[in-house]
């Protein structure tokens, strides 16, 4: 999950990435692509890092770009030896987990940088070093931090290798004796992106709350006190339904949440005009999840949501439609509750309601449909779920709404017909319900899969099945889409 995806649309107000977004975009990269980094980019990043602050303007860092394959291999061998030695400290499950946390970057990262501190640096004439000589090392750390941020902004990742023998590395690289080894850095294009550190993601160490590391001593009004006072964060999460797309379907409570939010984590399916209602200055974080495409991982989203709330922010988790209907709301609610983060849920108009309203058709009907059921057409693997109640789908007294059916619709209708559903039962596919580019396909259960496949519409699709749908008005839906397109400055697709 990143804030700077080149292939993902991000609203103009969310880009370029802010400093906070760069900081949250994880620094501890362990897996890299082998693609080379152009020399001009490396030079630009190193020159930016060289502008880092240092005590007394000492600039004590010395950067060695290690290009020799033999030396790289020797340092990697040293790392592996030290890693095995470190593993002996841990026992049982901790030892097993430690052995799984292997750094793969030595073989793939295109750039290797060894960082040293010149303890005899003449720059600055020793200013600040007389009382705290260790600040030379701190200055080098400032340089590495600047390099990391510059790398992140360029889309690169930085890995800091700490499990090596400093004396062995110093000898291998043949640097002056007065240079103190600070760290070995791997630089390259990340193979994967995460908002949470790998050690946290795999259960090595959970991140502790900010309040455990921050305290205040006294106050301006009362003078100094004897004990530091911890300041508790008061952040919270609101799980908000954005509706199917038409901004006018946003609820008043959802609007209030958007206009008071400090940070908004929004899904890819949220209609872009709705993002315009977010309070100016709020942090916008695209955590888009799309079926069958590379997307954010749910644990990453949970982690970021909780972290922002623990920092004292009002966080909105914005989802298309109603988050309580096939929106994985349960996982996010549980994550917040386990973390002790307050969470509120603001439901939204689900796409089935929006689509039916546009078509001027009731989903229930005293003569034809006394039951309404929502089902999903794909499971965790993207396949048709194995536990669908096919007898219920074939029930002539029910209206069935199928969410996320694009890839499995042909299989779904074939099985439903085999279980007794009349192939002539009305079926309507709606793509981008209630949006300017809404498309409506009125057909039958036996023919809807072929019709949808031939049209291959882009965007989210749902299927409505049942006798109550015989009264649908496709012309009215097209007129509504045209009116909305005129209001929003977009042209509707043909239906």
**Are the C-beta atoms of 408 and 384 separated by less than 8 Å?**
yes
CA 214 to each of CA 159, 209, 228, 243: distance values in angstroms, whole numbers, following the listed order: 27, 9, 9, 40
The closest alpha carbon to 469, from 495, 435, 494, 445, belongs to 445
| Closest to 402 (Cα-Cα) out of 432, 445, 373 | 373
Q: Rounded to whole angstroms, how far apart are CA atoms 364 and 351?
A: 16
Q: Which of 484, 259, 451 is closest to 354 using CA atoms?
A: 484
Asked if 86 and 163 touch (Cβ cutoff 8 Å), the reply is yes
Q: What are the beta bridge partners of residue 265?
A: 285, 317
CB 32 within 8 A of CB 105: yes
Which residues share a beta bridge with 442?
428
The C-alpha atoms of residue 264 and residue 318 are separated, in whole angstroms, by 7
Q: What phi and psi values does residue 490 have, to the nearest 5 degrees?
A: -135, 155
DSSP 312: T
- Residue 146 buriedness (CB in 10 A; 0-12 / 13-18 / 19+): middle
Catalytic residue numbers?
Answer: 267, 289, 404
C-alpha dist (Å) from residue 84 to 88, 163, 170, 171: 7, 10, 20, 21
Alpha-carbon radius of gyration of the chain:
28
């Amino acid at each position: 999950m990143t804030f700077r995806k080149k292939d993902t649309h991000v609203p103009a107000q969310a880009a370029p990435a802010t400093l906070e977004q760069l900081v949250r975009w994880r620094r501890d990269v362990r897996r890299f692509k082998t693609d080379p980094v152009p020399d001009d980019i490396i030079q630009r990043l190193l020159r930016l890092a060289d502008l880092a602050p240092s005590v007394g303007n000492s600039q004590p860092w010395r950067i060695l770009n290690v290009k020799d394959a033999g030396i790289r291999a020797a340092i990697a061998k040293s790392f592996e030896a030290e890693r095995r030695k470190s593993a002996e400290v841990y026992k049982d499950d901790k030892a097993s987990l430690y052995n799984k946390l292997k750094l793969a970057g030595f073989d793939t990262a295109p750039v290797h940088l060894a960082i040293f501190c010149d303890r005899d640096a003449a720059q600055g004439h020793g200013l600040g070093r007389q009382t705290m000589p260790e600040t030379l090392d701190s200055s080098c750390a400032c340089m590495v931090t600047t390099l990391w941020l510059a790398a992140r902004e360029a889309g690169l990742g930085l890995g800091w290798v700490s499990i090596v023998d400093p004396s062995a590395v110093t000898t291998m690289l043949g640097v002056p004796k007065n240079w103190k080894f600070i760290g070995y850095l791997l630089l390259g294009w990340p193979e994967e992106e995460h908002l949470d550190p790998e050690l946290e993601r795999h259960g090595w160490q959970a991140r502790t709350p900010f309040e455990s590391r921050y305290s205040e001593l006294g106050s301006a009004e009362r003078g100094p006190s004897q004990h530091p006072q911890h300041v508790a964060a008061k952040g919270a999460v609101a799980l908000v339904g954005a509706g199917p797309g038409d901004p006018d379907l946003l609820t008043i409570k959802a609007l209030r949440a958007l206009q008071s939010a400090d940070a908004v984590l929004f899904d890819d399916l949220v209609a872009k005009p709705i993002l315009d209602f977010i309070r100016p200055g709020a942090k916008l974080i695209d955590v888009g999840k799309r079926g069958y495409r590379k997307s954010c991982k749910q644990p990453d989203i949970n982690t970021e949501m909780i972290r922002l709330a623990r920092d004292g922010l009002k966080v909105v988790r914005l989802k298309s439609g109603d988050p309580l209907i096939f929106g994985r709301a349960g996982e996010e609610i549980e994550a917040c509750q386990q973390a002790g983060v307050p969470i509120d849920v603001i439901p939204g108009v689900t796409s089935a309601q929006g689509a039916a309203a546009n078509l001027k058709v009731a989903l229930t009907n005293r003569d034809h449909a006394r039951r309404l059921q929502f089902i999903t057409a794909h499971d965790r693997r993207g396949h048709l779920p194995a536990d669908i109640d096919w007898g219920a789908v074939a029930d002539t007294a029910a209206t069935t709404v199928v969410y996320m059916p694009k890839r499995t619709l042909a299989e779904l209708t074939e099985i439903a017909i085999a279980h007794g559903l009349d192939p002539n039962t009305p079926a309507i596919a709606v793509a981008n319900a209630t949006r300017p580019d809404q498309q409506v396909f009125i057909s039958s259960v036996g023919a809807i899969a072929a019709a949808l496949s031939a049209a291959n519409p882009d965007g989210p699709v749902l299927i409505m099945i049942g006798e109550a749908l015989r009264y649908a008005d496709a012309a009215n839906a097209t007129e509504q889409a045209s009116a909305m397109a005129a209001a929003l400055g977009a042209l509707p697709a043909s239906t």
